[in-house]
Amino acid sequence: MSTIDLAPPRQLPEALTGKASPSPIQFAFTKKTGAHANHGKREALSGVQAQQTLNELLTQTKASQQARAIYIHIPFCRVRCTFCNFFQYASNQQMIDDYFDLLEQELIAKSRYPWTQARSFDAVYVGGGTPTDLSPQQLLRLGQLIHRHFPLSDNCEITLEGRLNRFSDDKFNAALESGFNRFSFGVQSFNSKVRRAAKRLDNRDYILERLSQLTASNQATIAIDLIYGLPHQTQENWQQDLQDVIDTGVHGVDLYQLLTFGGSGLQRNIDAGREVVPLDTSDKAMMYQQGHQFFTQQGFQQLSYCHWASDKREQSCYNSLAKQGAEILPIGAGAGGNINGYGLMQSRDIDTWRAGVTANNWAFEQLSLPANNAQLKAAITSACDKGRIEASLLPEGLALFKHCQVLFEAWQRNGLVTIKPTQVALTVAGQFWSVNLANAMTQYLQMYPLTNN
């Protein structure tokens, strides 16, 4: 059997190749094409058909041999940050308590499926919202439930996401006692002026001190998120943010580019002239470059285009599995998951979620069918995320790699990659545009598929 292809033209559209410019990191594309690689709209099942399909999947006693994860969502925040699209509900003790009780029921019910018990989980991520707003008792209980009901691998990464605000020693100790071994705090910026404008609670001194205490205790992996491009950020205060990462001793850091969207508090403030216009993409590109250079000089290990680790304990396993298209069991209102390639997004509305969970344990509205070429798309996303496209990690290996040569050569001419015989390494500019490159390669292969005959 030989491999032939629909020969792509020598001249590809700029949307795929980026454009030639003296500063590719700033100008190769005009805008990031989304927070994550976009694999297009998928067909979906709903109603009884969706529930039946899911039940068939979950009664399987044979699980895939791939690493997999659990995602548990806590949709409450004390204050809505101006830039954020994840906010669902304002924290209210009664609501959190009621939510927690039903979450417990959902967790136990989902743990009982043969699929769940068929293989151990390699990562658990409790995200939000602000899971650190749970009480010490709830954190203790949640960790215990996870350990009691799910098969976990020996070195399973169990992350609690949230923020440092009111994250007391009682909460930290309760989470540690019940087996959380990684904490991911959204810091966004250490700078007090930037924080105030974004409606972040607490000032720089508090954040520095609390983070230093948590890392000094040396009891768990501590990672933080920073955002670049927020109003009032400058090259100078961003450099100070980067230095603060070192001074607090955290084990991992994500650098996220600010994405703005209509309807956010930030956009409303800008439109009403109450807030300065945030930096444009070319300025944000320079901040990314500054961060990249800084952590490289500091000897941090780069785990993805936007994540650096100072310590071997930090693996960022959940994020990496999510980008590889691994199976993820979703629990909670607004949790997203993937079971055997079927995608499900649970209802964000707590009442709808409650009704679904009470009726049949599941609260999703649609079950998306596995994407066409899901394995290929996940391989591309994961490769671009890690900054290296290796022929051996692509389905159809070298044949597919060679088939993409025209695209890779265009990227190389535009300063986005360096081509080697069996791999393509993304330059710093290419890494900044990693999501665009992943989307471009996926689109290229849709336009010019590699066909076997």
Which residues lie near ligand SF4 (CB under 6 A)?
77, 80-81, 84, 86-87, 128-130, 163, 186
Nearest distance from C-beta of residue 233 to ligand SF4, angstroms: 16
By the 10 Å C-beta count (0-12 exposed, 13-18 middle, 19+ buried), 101 is classed as exposed
Structure tokens at 54: 């899911």
Q: How far is the CB of 164 from ligand SAM (least distance, A)?
A: 9
Nearer of residues 162 and 415 to ligand SAM, judged by Cβ: 162
Alpha helices in 162-234 (DSSP H): 169-177, 192-197, 204-216
| Smaller CB separation from ligand SAM, 106 or 161 | 161
Helical ranges in 275-404 per DSSP H? 281-297, 317-323, 350-360, 374-386, 397-403
Residue with smaller CB distance to ligand SF4, 77 or 428: 77
Instruction: Name which of 331 and 416 has its Cβ closer to ligand SF4.
Output: 331
Q: What's the closest the beta carbon of residue 308 comes to ligand SF4, in angstroms? A: 20
The answer to whether the beta carbons of residues 27 and 19 sit under 8 Å apart is yes
Listing DSSP states for 414-440 in one string gives TTSEEE-SSEEEE-HHHHHTHHHHHHH
Our CB check for ligand SF4 shows the closer of 87 and 100 to be 87
Q: Which does 18 bind (CB under 5 to 8 A by kind): ligand SAM, ligand SF4, none?
A: none
**DSSP readout, 28-85?**
SSSS---SS-------EEEHHHHHHHHHHHHT-S---SS-EEEEEEE-EESS--TT-S
The residue with its CB nearest to ligand SAM is: 186
**Residue 242 touches which of ligand SAM, ligand SF4, none (CB < 5 to 8 A by kind)?**
none
Question: Could you tell me which residues are beta bridge partners of residue 431?
Answer: none
Q: How far is the CB of 130 from ligand SAM (least distance, A)?
A: 4
Which stretches of the chain bind ligand SAM, using CB under 6 A? 77, 83-86, 128, 130, 161-163, 186, 188, 225, 227, 256, 258-259
Smallest gap from residue 86 Cβ to ligand SF4 (A)? 4
In Å, how far are 189, 291, 413 from 205, measured between CA atoms?
12, 22, 46
Residue with tokens 């930096």: 279
Q: Among ligand SF4, ligand SAM, none, what binds residue 291 when CB lies within 5 to 8 Å by partner kind?
A: none
| Residue 259 binding partner per list ligand SF4, ligand SAM, none, with a CB distance cut-off of 5 to 8 Å that depends on partner kind | ligand SAM
Contact yes or no for 171/136 (Cβ under 8 A) = yes
Q: Give me the least distance between CB of 416 and ligand SAM, in Å please.
A: 22
Q: Residue 195 touches which of ligand SF4, ligand SAM, none (CB < 5 to 8 A by kind)?
A: none
| Cα–Cα distance measured from residue 248 to residue 281, given in angstroms and rounded to the nearest whole number | 29
Q: Rounded to the nearest whole angstrom, what is the least distance from the CB of residue 321 to ligand SAM in the complex? A: 17
**How far apart (Å, rounded) are the C-alpha atoms in residues 179 and 157?**
10
Please list the alpha-helical segments (H only) found in 229-373: 235-248, 265-271, 281-297, 317-323, 350-360
Contact call for residues 42 and 343 (beta carbons, < 8 A): yes
**How far apart are CB 169 and ligand SF4 at their closest, in Å?**
21
For residue 92, the minimal CB distance to ligand SF4 (Å) is 14
Contact 287, 233 (CB under 8 A): yes
Nearer to ligand SF4, 25 or 198 (CB): 198
* Residue 161 contact partner, candidates ligand SAM, ligand SF4, none, CB within 5 to 8 A by sort of partner: ligand SAM
Cβ proximity to ligand SF4, 80 vs 232, nearer residue:
80
43: region left, alpha or beta (phi > 0 left; psi from -120 to 50 alpha): beta
Residue 188 or 431: which CB sits closer to ligand SAM?
188
Q: Which is nearer to ligand SF4, 89 or 411 (CB)?
A: 89
Contact of residue 258 among ligand SF4, ligand SAM, none (CB under 5-8 Å per partner type) = ligand SAM
142 vs 389 by CB, closer to ligand SF4: 142
Chain centroid offset of residue 359 CA: 30
Which partner in ligand SF4, ligand SAM, none is near 80 (CB below 5 to 8 A by kind)?
Answer: ligand SF4
Contact 336, 328 (CB under 8 A): yes
Residue closer to ligand SF4, measured from CB, 145 or 201: 201
Taking the complex as a whole, the smallest distance from the CB of residue 3 to ligand SAM amounts, in Å, to 41
CB 7 within 8 A of CB 452: no
Q: Which residues contact 269 (CB under 8 A, 6 or more apart)?
A: 82, 275
Which among ligand SAM, ligand SF4, none contacts residue 143 (Cβ within 5 to 8 A by kind)? none
Task: Please state the closest distance from residue 159 (CB atom) to ligand SAM, in A.
Answer: 12
384, 441 contact by CB (below 8 A): yes
